[in-house]
Amino acid sequence: MRNFIIGIDLDDVLVDFVSEFTKICNRLFGKPELGTLPIDWDWSNFHLTQAKKDAAWKEVANTENFWAKLPIEYGADPEIVERLSEDHELVFITARVPSRGWSTEHQSKHWVHCNMGVIFPTVI
């Protein structure tokens, strides 16, 4: 029997999404500087027009299995997540846009399994 249900956000908690999105913007438009973190949900300090931000998101959507290939967030500890999964039901939470390839849910489950050691992860 599982003790608790624990919800864990994926992006920028376990998964390093921001640095990959920053790389896309930098490669396409020369800004922002690599390592820049957004200061708000509109990425306003990236100094990109809405059309350019939309183009960057389109790049995400057109990348085969984008969500399955992201790096682990700095400081995220796969051993802790794996140990938590032994006694608790973990639910991984995300609001990702679809990308080419597997479904977003399948990409997310694949990432959690391969990077955090959870055998049958639940992703919503």
The pLDDT of residue 1 is: 59
Whether cis (ω within 30° of 0) applies to the bond prior to 78 is no
* Percent of the chain clearing pLDDT 70 (strictly above): 99
> Confidence band (pLDDT; 50, 70, 90) for 2?
confident
Residue 70 structure tokens: 């992201």
- At residue 108's C-alpha, the angle toward residues 123 and 39, to 5°, is 95
Span 6-56, pLDDT tens digits: 999 999 999 999 999 999 999 999 999 999 999 999 999 999 999 999 999
